[in-house]
Amino acid sequence: MKLISGTANEPLAQRIAEYLDIPLTNTEFRRFADNEVFVRINENVRGEDVFVIQSTSYPANDHLMELLIAMDALNRASAARITAVIPYFGYARQDRKTDGRTPISAKLVANLIATSGADRVLTMDLHAGQIQGFFDVPTDNLIATPVMERDIREHYDADNVMIVSPDVGGVVRARSLAKRLDCDLAIVDKRRPKAGVSEVMNIIGEVDGRHCILFDDMCDSGGTLCNAAAALKEKGACGVSAYVTHGVLSGGAVERIENSVMDEIVIADTIAPTETALNSDSVRVLTVSKTIGEAIRRIANDESISKMFD
């Protein structure tokens, strides 16, 4: 087995390598003068089972090209099998036509990954489960829920916790965590009366006196979570926290969260946290390296992935 790390999230790749007790393969990623990506694999990979670890996070296009070019290099170097390990799959939010003359970018990126030489894809908490079907190669979609569950049990009183889905689309995800914790579930119903008018937030569920934990797959600008937290507090919640898998946290998201009524936001390290996030008292980071590392081990040994979450 060979592990290759792109430049998107080298600390996570190193933690995965430590879990598997395998060194990262010596690989060179650099740019030409015009910013074109150049990749060289400095070790023999002929006949090897190779895993390329690369999140397609900001800058998404650069990191995506690194992944594609690295897999092309491996394919031409006669690697036996190439698995694209994508902890955070970018462009996942564009998974359907939302209006006339718009793309389905998630499908386009899936095609690019398969065409560049990937024999298999391993990712985590896709924005929409059906994106698995966009790939023409076997795809495993891991979940960070067990990691989140353990952390919630360690830091909160499970008897007074209520899991909250910040929108209707995330109900299935939130219900899964609530079932694991054996606690109640609430839903934030967002409605925008008309363009340019602030959202009206309605809470489905009795949150008075409960510590509410917002659970979602990603946090980009932080606006949805901050607004939902404010609505929960207005309804009598004694405290509000958030757990998200992918901490995109673009722009002024961290500052927005610090100024909100949320106690904290807990993110996984599928995306390398920025210095701003690491230095914030409102942001805490959990690692999913063991989950991804164990999945890689099972793929290499042709063992079941689904049994990890039974």
Q: Which residues are catalytically annotated?
A: 190
- Alpha helices (H) along 168-279: 171-181, 223-234, 253-258, 275-278
* 224 marked ligand binding residue: yes
Assign 143 to helix, strand or coil. coil
Beta carbons within 8 Å of 257's beta carbon, 6+ residues apart = 222, 225, 226, 265, 280, 282, 283
* Joined tokens for residue 169: 């689309």
249 CB-side CA count, 13 A: 29
* 102 marked ligand binding residue: no
Helix then strand count (H, E) for the chain reads: 9, 14
Three-state SS annotation for 231-258 = HHHHCCCCEEEEEEEEECCCCCHHHHHH
* 127 marked ligand binding residue: yes
* 36 marked ligand binding residue: yes
* 216 marked ligand binding residue: yes
What is the Cα–Cα distance from 82 to 71, expressed in whole angstroms? 7
* 14 marked ligand binding residue: no
* 119 marked ligand binding residue: no
* 223 marked ligand binding residue: yes
What is the Cα–Cα distance from 36 to 272, expressed in whole angstroms? 23
Assign 75 to helix, strand or coil. helix
Asked if 130 contacts 122 with a C-beta cutoff of 8 angstroms, the reply is no
Residues of the binding site for ATP: 34-36, 93-94
Residues of the binding site for D-ribose 5-phosphate: 192, 216, 220-224
Residues of the binding site: 34-36, 93-94, 127, 167, 192, 216, 220-224
